[in-house]
Amino acid sequence: QVRLQESGPGLVKPSETLSLTCTVSGGSISTYYWSWIRQPAGKGLEWMGRIYFSGSYNYNHPFKSRVTMSVDTSKKQVSLNLRSVTAADTALYYCVRVAEGSRSYGDYWGRGTLVTVSS
Amino acid sequence: SYELTQPPSVSVSPGQTARITCSADALTKQYAYWYQRKPGQAPVLLIYKDSERPSGIPERFSGSSSGTTVTLTISGVQAEDEADYYCQSADNSGVYWVFGGGTKLTVL
């Protein structure tokens, strides 16, 4: 069974960089795209972008100037960096495996990790 | 991009049928996907490509599409089905995903 586990600091100061890691177990990291999705409190789900195991990526427009995603196949980890955070970046962050084929949806999700931006 | 519109809440008694809709003009051209999210748990894919059910998902969950609206139907609702349900679709390229605002299903 594929499992995704998000990890990282639960508290980040404004203007700093939010860094999260997603560890993949029970399945391969190769041949898949991996997405990050977040949900700010009281708001809907936001697709932040995706990264292929080879490193190619697509970022959603609202995040393009601030986000970087990366993959470490040897560690079976996917990472998210979001720069210059503000309180608006306080959210539950999910790591998602993008389904093969159409690649238009996620077939496995992590439980999510809550990140609060506050001084 | 575009928005997917879901009702904020749906309530149903155990054993009855719950229907959750998701609307957008783009759904005439793009597939919809449905996820279930319970507190503290990883969201689960319930339906893909409008009406396909992944292995392991109970048959009481089904999806359908008509024009600009897709519908998630839960037949014989059980107490354990109380959760938030999200529809999702993508742009023409299939790369950029869009989500509905979510529907909280309450089992009375």
pLDDT, position B59: 97
Check CB contact under 8 Å for A105 and B45: yes
pLDDT, position B51: 98
DSSP string, chain B: ---BB--SEEEE-TTS-EEEEEE-GGGGTS--EEEEE-TTS--EEEEBTTTB--TTS-TTEEEEEETTEEEEEESS--GGG-EEEEEEEE-TTS-SEEEB--EEEEE-
Check CB contact under 8 Å for B99 and A44: yes
Check CB contact under 8 Å for A109 and B90: no
Tell me: pLDDT of A103 over 90: no
CB atoms < 10 A from the CB of A115, how many? 23
B82 in Cβ contact with B74 (< 8 Å): no
pLDDT, position B93: 86
Tell me: pLDDT of A16 over 90: yes
Is B79 at the interface with chain A, CB within 8 A? no
Contacts B41 to A, Cβ<8 Å? 111
Check CB contact under 8 Å for B102 and A104: no
Work out how many CB contacts closer than 8 A connect A with B.
64
Q: How far apart are CA B20 and CA B86, in angstroms?
A: 9
Tell me: pLDDT of B1 over 80: no
The CA-CA-CA angle for residues B69, B74, B75, to 5°, reads: 125
Q: Residue B94's pLDDT band (boundaries 50, 70, 90)?
A: confident
Query: How do residues A32-76 score in pLDDT, each as one tens digit?
Result: 999 999 999 889 999 999 999 999 999 999 999 999 999 999 999
pLDDT, position B2: 84
The Cα of B102 is separated from the nearest Cα of chain A by a number of Å equal to 7
Tokens 């990526």 map to which residue?
Answer: A57
Contacts B42 to A, Cβ<8 Å? 4, 94, 108-112
Q: Which of B41, B86, B94 has its CB closest to that of A104?
A: B94
Q: Which of B42, B86, B99 has its CB closest to that of A111?
A: B42
Contacts A106 to B, Cβ<8 Å? 35, 43, 45
Q: Give the contacts of B107 (CB within 8 A, at least 6 positions apart).
A: B11, B12, B13, B14, B77, B78, B79, B81, B82
**Bridge partner list, B61:** B74
Check CB contact under 8 Å for B88 and A44: no
Query: How do residues B32-43 score in pLDDT, each as one tens digit?
Result: 999 999 999 999
pLDDT, position A102: 81
